[in-house]
Amino acid sequence: MLEVLVEQRFYVTAVLLFSVGLAALLLHPNLIKKIIGLNLMDTAVFLFLAAMGYVDGGKAPMVEPGAEAAAYINPVPGGLVLTGIVVAVSTTALFLALTHRLYQKYHSVNLDVILMLARRGTEEE
């Protein structure tokens, strides 16, 4: 079992990081830490994808005409990671913008506090 884990170290690291990110996203009341958790989660998936694309002895896929495919790593996961990064940047920006708005209004980045204040706000409204 241990041998397998060592051989698959990149996948193992990726899923562990994913779980850590998930925990931070779900458990931390602090919104900034939630954002960090979200990014950790996404990055873990990128690590997973990047590790999947690697082929022993492969080069980066700058193809010279007429070369064997076996000489290069798989280009598909690279493209997927690129897309994933762009999506992660977008959601992070939106998340930060919402946090900024909430901070302006409630002067806190703690989600529990914000929820409590928002409930109090609606009752007093």
**10 Å Cβ neighbour count for 89?**
12
- Beta carbon of residue 65, minimum distance to another protein (angstroms, whole number): 5
- Beta carbon of residue 47, minimum distance to another protein (angstroms, whole number): 10
**10 Å Cβ neighbour count for 93?**
10
Name every residue whose Cβ is closer than 8 Å to that of residue 15 and which is 6 or more positions away in sequence: 44, 48
How many residues in the shown chain lie near another protein by CB under 8 A? 94
Q: Which two tokens stand for residue 15?
A: 């899923």
CA angle 74, 77, 82 (to 5 degrees): 130
- Beta carbon of residue 104, minimum distance to another protein (angstroms, whole number): 9
From the number of C-beta atoms within 10 Å of its C-beta (0-12, 13-18, 19+), residue 35 rates as: buried
- Beta carbon of residue 37, minimum distance to another protein (angstroms, whole number): 9
Asked if 59 interacts with another protein (CB under 8 A), we say no
Binding mask 64-103 for another protein (x = CB under 8 A): xx-x-xx-x-xxxxxxx-xxxxxx-xxx-xxxxxxxxxx-
Footprint of another protein on 9-38 (CB under 8 A): 9-12, 14-16, 18-19, 21-23, 25-27, 29-31, 34, 38
Phi, psi of 110 (to 5 degrees): -90, 120
Footprint of another protein on 35-54 (CB under 8 A): 38, 41-42, 45, 48-49, 51-54
